[in-house]
């Protein structure tokens, strides 16, 4: 039986002796009495920290779990920090939540603490999408905001996304400073849990209308929508926040044939119809695909619980539904928008798009052909939002996106937005249908013009304290002894975003790179293949992103070319010993 470390035991005792509710103490004592020391260690060996998406973790007792006290201390730390940043202002925050189990009481705890600290709270009257929270922060001129969500994680998880006044997620140095404030709190007795109802204002339908208007304003081809208004769309919110707002937004644009997967329209944090509420997974779209086949639909779309990510399925060359990955959807969106802006003579040389460093570089090639600047930022949509805020009033933002199924069209929010993504994807499908093409046809045309790109993500889950140590060791080994050959392609360049260096392997020349420091490695090979390694900031995983490319002489050769690219990826995986 694993013995408890002294540091863990001290934390456990602090909770058992402190002002913690009886139910939580009973949960801790049960783990002690039953010798569940490994579970107890995972629950207490560290404090939850802000990652690329804020706080996220398993619900339960412990400093490394999501519960009343970790949320309370995080909110108290944020409140204390806001007071130092805005000492002479009435501080305003907005709070929203998704459909997670305990989302309502958790959101109320956050409202309790903010209002208990004398901070004005705008509190949504029910569940809302993450992008609407970002929109509300900007609309109400708030200084900060909090979204209670765990995105696409399993039902055991909950989370806490902290936002700043620009509507984007909290960034350095604010995130570190908030954590520093949290760490100053030595006892839950220092958390102001008593709500001041006079400072809590309920918001709802009026904000929904404004948000939908902003989404509808991003449309670029209303003629195509009118011509194909009856495009047969099947949509699933996977039991989450998009259940009403995505259909409303589609109807606002003029789509008249939107069909919901009714079994997945029930609001349920247990996600009873799926294994994981993740639109990246085919399993999560099984019911939508079945309904689409039976009804002869043109397009399938499904959003994750907090409606900031969307997965789609389109009909391929055989008329069968095929799921597109996040990179493929991003390529279609960026290509469509750049062409639309070009046709409308709106490209003046002052426009830009943004993507992450692990998102397909096919987008860079498309942007270059249109003479539009394409910025690459670290993983995490907050960095896209940060760039948007930096260039606000100077340059025109067209779109942003990342391979993990998150996109933004228009500048109404500073986070990924599956609501506007759904409306733009539907508009794209309508446009191409008016040209007697499918979205799949459009994708193959892009590959024929620019080259076929294929990417694969490998995620290795390493749970708990031992898992964190394994992930650290993997990254250390890659830095100390990086493989020189990947898929029979020599490594030409290594980018280390922690050391902020770029190394030319042949010349052994090292240059600095201008990025925030982040624990990411990228290996560039002959033929412009790229392999990236990155520990997740929100999950106990290390992720490897593989990108290969080649030529496609014509759409008819797609399957043959795709198979060749898949074989290249398998060679690389062997080099990485997967």
Q: Report the Cα 541 to chain-centroid distance in Å.
A: 15
Instruction: Determine the Cα–Cα distance for residues 276 and 209; give it in Å rounded to an integer.
Output: 31
Instruction: Determine the Cα–Cα distance for residues 578 and 570; give it in Å rounded to an integer.
Output: 9
H or E element: which one contains 158?
A: strand 157-164
Contact in structure between 382 and 416 (CB atoms under 8 Å): no
Instruction: Determine the Cα–Cα distance for residues 37 and 266; give it in Å rounded to an integer.
Output: 38
**In a 3-state reduction of DSSP, which class is residue 183?**
helix
**Crossing angle, helix 439-450 and helix 558-575, to 10 degrees?**
70
Tell me, yes or no, if 115 is annotated catalytic: no
What residue spans of 146-274 are helical by DSSP H? 174-183, 205-216, 222-227, 242-253
Largest Cα separation within the chain, whole Å, is 71
Task: Say how many C-beta atoms besides its own lie within 10 A of residue 34's C-beta.
Answer: 10
Task: Say how many C-beta atoms besides its own lie within 10 A of residue 490's C-beta.
Answer: 12
Instruction: Determine the Cα–Cα distance for residues 26 and 232; give it in Å rounded to an integer.
Output: 53
Contact in structure between 321 and 296 (CB atoms under 8 Å): no
Q: Residue 479: phi, psi to the nearest 5?
A: -75, -40
Instruction: Determine the Cα–Cα distance for residues 131 and 422; give it in Å rounded to an integer.
Output: 13
Contacts 24+ apart (CB under 8 A), 59-62: 59/101, 59/102, 59/156, 59/157, 59/158, 60/27, 61/15, 61/24, 61/27, 61/28, 62/15, 62/28
Instruction: Determine the Cα–Cα distance for residues 461 and 445; give it in Å rounded to an integer.
Output: 37
Nearest partner of 193 among 106, 123, 110, 121, judged by Cα: 110
Instruction: Determine the Cα–Cα distance for residues 131 and 235; give it in Å rounded to an integer.
Output: 18
Catalytic residue among 151, 236, 438, 536: 151
Nearest partner of 445 among 364, 566, 339, 528, judged by Cα: 339
By the 10 Å C-beta count (0-12 exposed, 13-18 middle, 19+ buried), 2 is classed as exposed
CB neighbours of 559 closer than 8 A, spacing ≥ 6?
Answer: none
Catalytic (active-site) positions: 151
């Amino acid at each position: 039986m694993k013995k408890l470390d002294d540091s863990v035991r001290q934390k456990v005792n602090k909770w058992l002796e402190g002002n913690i509710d009886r139910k939580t103490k009973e949960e801790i004592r049960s783990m002690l009495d039953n010798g569940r020391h490994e579970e107890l260690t995972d629950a207490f060996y560290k404090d939850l920290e802000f990652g690329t998406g804020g706080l996220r973790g398993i619900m339960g007792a412990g400093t490394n779990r999501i519960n009343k006290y970790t949320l309370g201390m995080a909110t108290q730390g944020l409140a204390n920090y806001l007071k130092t940043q805005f000492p002479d202002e009435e501080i305003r925050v907005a709070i929203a939540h998704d459909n997670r189990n305990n989302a309502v009481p958790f959101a109320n705890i956050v409202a309790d603490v903010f209002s208990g600290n004398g901070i004005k709270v705008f509190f949504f009257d029910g569940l809302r999408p993450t992008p609407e929270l970002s929109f509300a922060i900007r609309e109400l001129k708030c200084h900060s905001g909090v979204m209670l969500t765990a995105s696409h994680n399993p039902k055991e998880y909950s989370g806490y996304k902290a936002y700043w006044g620009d509507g984007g997620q909290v960034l350095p140095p604010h995130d570190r400073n908030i954590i520093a404030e949290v760490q100053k709190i030595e006892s839950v007795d220092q958390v102001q849990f008593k709500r001041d109802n006079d400072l809590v204002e309920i918001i709802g339908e009026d904000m929904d209308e404004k948000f939908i208007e902003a989404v509808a304003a991003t449309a670029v081809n209303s003629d195509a929508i009118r011509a194909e208004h009856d495009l047969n769309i099947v949509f699933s919110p996977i039991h989450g926040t998009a259940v009403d707002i995505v259909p409303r937004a589609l109807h606002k644009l003029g789509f008249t044939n939107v069909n919901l997967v009714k079994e997945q329209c029930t609001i349920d944090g247990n996600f009873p119809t799926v294994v994981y509420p993740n639109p990246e997974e085919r399993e999560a779209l099984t019911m939508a695909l079945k309904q689409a086949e039976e009804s002869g639909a043109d397009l399938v779309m499904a959003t994750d619980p907090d409606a900031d990510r969307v997965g789609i399925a389109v009909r391929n060359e055989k008329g069968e539904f095929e799921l597109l990955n996040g990179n493929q959807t991003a390529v279609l969106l960026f290509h469509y928008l750049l062409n639309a802006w070009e046709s409308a003579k709106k490209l003046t040389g002052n426009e830009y798009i943004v993507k992450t460093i692990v998102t397909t570089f096919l987008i860079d090639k498309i942007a270059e052909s249109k003479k539009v600047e394409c910025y690459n930022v670290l993983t995490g949509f907050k960095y896209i939002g940060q760039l948007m805020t930096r260039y606000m009033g100077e340059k025109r933002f067209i779109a942003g996106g990342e391979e993990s199924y998150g996109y933004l069209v228009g500048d109404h929010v500073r986070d990924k937005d599956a609501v506007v993504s759904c409306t733009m994807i539907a508009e794209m499908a309508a446009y191409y249908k008016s040209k007697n093409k499918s979205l799949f046809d459009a994708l193959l045309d892009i590959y024929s013009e620019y080259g076929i790109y294929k990417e694969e993500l490998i995620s290795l889950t390493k749970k708990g304290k031992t898992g964190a140590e394994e992930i650290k060791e993997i990254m250390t080994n890659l830095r100390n002894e990086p493989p020189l050959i990947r898929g029979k392609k020599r490594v030409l360049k290594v980018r280390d975003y922690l050391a902020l260096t770029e190394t030319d392997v042949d010349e052994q020349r090292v240059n600095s790179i201008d990025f925030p420091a982040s624990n990411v490695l990228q290996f560039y090979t002959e033929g412009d293949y790229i392999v990236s390694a990155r520990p997740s900031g929100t999950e106990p995983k290390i992720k490897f992103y593989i990108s290969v490319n080649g030529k496609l002489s014509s759409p008819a050769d797609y399957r043959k070319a795709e198979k060749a690219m898949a074989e290249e990826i398998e060679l690389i995986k062997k080099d990485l010993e997967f």
